[in-house]
Amino acid sequence: MKSKHNIKSIEEGNKMKTNRTFLHAWDMVIKNKRAYTMLSVTILLSFTFLLSYLMYIDSNYMTEYGRDIYTDGKIIQAMCPHDGDNVSFDLFLESLKDIENTHYYIWETSVVNQNYYVEGMPRFITILPENVWGVHNDIYTRVFRTTDKEFVLEKNQAIVSTEMYKALKKEFGKEKIIIDFPVQTVDEGAHFLKLEVVDGCYASDIGQSNALDSIYISYDTIRDVDYASDNREALIRSDNPQAVIENMRNLSIAGTSTYENKLSSFVQILNKIQLKHIISIVLFIVLGINLYSSFKNALNDRKFEIGVKRAVGASKKNIIKQFLYEGIIVVVLNLLLAAVLTSIIFIIYKIVMLTVFDKTLVVFISRYSIMIFLIVGVSMTVIFSLLFAIQSSKVEIIRHLKSE
């Protein structure tokens, strides 16, 4: 019966043999770099093409549907009918009280009188109530104060875009920023509001800042003015968006919601994922054929070497292990190079899309696509490295030595 010491010695000996075989395989890859470079061209292009395809599809998904996927699915925007049917709109707002965990606020927009408009001035006036749980321009775009304070406005106070606030701050210095702002009245005249600008603000749309073209004031500031109302809307957040949307439809209230857009996007993505599966399988087969041909050509260049090793006493097992390690080294290196090359390609692609087509591309690859790439990469590494190794052990020694 073998002692624990002997078993440990055997394990250490096997580990050392494996390390020597691996180092020898690495040396042979370097020694046969010309042949492996030719092989690597096919492998690198194959894996780069597969990874680029997966990243291209995912980037298009994210660019087209990213806002819907990652935004809060509980936001609803309802618009008061332009025909002046405030009754239906008010009934809808009243119905929200019966839906648990539902909050809303109403805001209006007015416009600046064009006779007094100056370049750089906001074109719109957003009129907010006293208590606002979160200011939005739409269901996707939330507005934040530059100072990160709550969006609370007292009478005759105003908030403008960060850019405009910086310009006004530079002009007024340490003094209060007091401006006269021309609001369009119902009779198409102008009413000048004397406003104290207290802060700047910016809009965040899924992490992307957007320019604002509005000045924010409270209802108290404009309550006594017969201003021209451009529209009246409600911004709602509910843990039960389906019920809110159903009430909207029943009362024929126009609106949009992140919940419906999210569902629609998921349906579109699921349909495209099925196509992605089919194309990935086809690519797997094509890549497999290319890799098999490439490994076979590489093996033909090494038959004399194999014959010599067998002639001097190398066993089939040793030959298989050496070529298995060589195959793994080459494929793994090309997998890493494919990842680097694909990243460079998409950085260039993003720059071209932005500068030439003025389109912002969201470069993205999903965990699912990474898993597909790794499964394909690992399976091809194991399959073709083993195939490469096994075929190397079947080389007819005498015939190839005589041919040389």
- Reported as a single tens digit per residue, the pLDDT across 15-31 is 666 677 777 777 777 77
Whole-number pLDDT of residue 83: 60
Whole-number pLDDT of residue 250: 92
Rg of the chain over Cα atoms, rounded to whole angstroms, equals: 34
- For the stretch 156-201, pLDDT in tens is 999 999 999 999 999 999 899 999 999 999 998 999 999 999 999 9
For the cut 90, the answer to whether the pLDDT of residue 248 exceeds it is yes
Give the pair of three-digit tokens for residue 11: 């394990």
Whole-number pLDDT of residue 226: 92
Instruction: Give the pLDDT band (50/70/90) at residue 221.
Output: very high
pTM (2 d.p.): 0.65
Amino acid at 262: K
Query: What is the percent of the chain where pLDDT is above 70?
Result: 82
Distance of alpha carbon 136 from alpha carbon 29, whole angstroms: 60
Whole-number pLDDT of residue 17: 62
Instruction: Give the pLDDT band (50/70/90) at residue 225.
Output: very high
Distance of alpha carbon 399 from alpha carbon 130, whole angstroms: 94
Give the pair of three-digit tokens for residue 331: 């494929």
Instruction: Give the pLDDT band (50/70/90) at residue 334.
Output: confident
Print the SS3 string covering 61-103: HHHHHHHHHHCCCCEEEEECCCCCCHHHHHHHHHHHHHCCCEE
Whole-number pLDDT of residue 67: 80
Average pLDDT over residues 256-276: 85
Name the E strands within 136-218: 142-145, 157-161, 178-184, 190-205, 208-210, 214-218
Least confident of 57-61, 106-110, 291-295: 291-295
Least confident of 34-38, 77-81, 360-364, 399-403: 399-403
- For the stretch 301-312, pLDDT in tens is 666 676 667 667
Beta bridge partners of 83: none
For the cut 80, the answer to whether the pLDDT of residue 14 exceeds it is no
Instruction: Give the pLDDT band (50/70/90) at residue 396.
Output: low
Quote the mean pLDDT of the chain. Answer: 82
Sign of CA dihedral 300, 305, 306, 307: positive
Whole-number pLDDT of residue 259: 93
Whole-number pLDDT of residue 209: 45
CA–CA–CA angle 189, 191, 195 (5° rounding): 155
